[in-house]
Amino acid sequence: MTSARGDAPAATGAAAGLQAVLQARAALLDAGRPEATARRHARGRLTVREAIAALADADSFVEYGGLARPAVAGMDGPADGLVMGTAEVDGRPVDLVLYDYTVHGGTQSAINHQKISRMFAHAQRHRLAVILWLEGGGARTHDMMVPARGSTPTFVVFARLSGWVPTIGIVPSRAFAGHANLAGMCDVLIAVRESA
């Protein structure tokens, strides 16, 4: 039954919009990306979602910016290769930032630089420890030349955390260029034997 104003079509449109958002969010998870997950497991590596499950207290992770996509036309990639959000670790609130190696080799882009800078500013504002999962190949050069992108304050914003909040880096395999810069700026760095 519709009202005199015709609200039923709007409600149907809202339901379709909600369904689209739920499908987009499901596509971010390992179950929605079986091929990428299988490739990680074949190399003996965790996915970033598995790393979050291992690091964070159960059901405490709240993702920020998960629906972001690369700025370059024709490219796709869940969360633009950077999974981040708030969580609790042993009951303490933290900000988690993880580069997703399954998305363009975990590289940095115009969009995920904006995301990570925002997360670092959040950590400073709320005095939260930052845990970084640093695995990837540095910058996607072609993705850094986006018109009207502005500057990339990531490293300056991260440097401002020094002395205010603990910064912990985890290097589970390879970290190049900007990833290595962030690793070198961490208060504590954890790496496995084969890390580079």
Q: Is the pLDDT of residue 171 over 50?
A: yes
Cα 78 from Cα 114, distance rounded (Å): 15
Mean pLDDT for 81-86 is 92
Dihedral sign from CA coordinates of 118, 175, 133, 161: negative
Mean pLDDT of the chain: 84
C-alpha torsion 94→134→147→120, nearest 10: 20
pLDDT digits (tens, 9 = 90+) for 93-134: 999 999 999 888 888 888 888 899 999 999 999 999 999 999
Residue 76, phi then psi, degrees to nearest 5 = -140, 165
Q: What are the angstrom distances between the C-alpha of 170 and each of 27, 70, 106, 156, 173?
A: 25, 24, 14, 20, 9
> Is the separation of the CB atoms in 143 and 75 below 8 Å?
yes
> Is the separation of the CB atoms in 176 and 157 below 8 Å?
no
Residue 154, phi then psi, degrees to nearest 5 = -45, -50
H/E element, 180: helix 178-185
- Pairing between strand 129-133 and 92-99? parallel
pLDDT tier at 1, thresholds 50, 70, 90: very low
pLDDT tier at 21, thresholds 50, 70, 90: confident
The structure's pTM equals: 0.83
- If one compares 194 and 1, the residue with the highest pLDDT of the two is 194
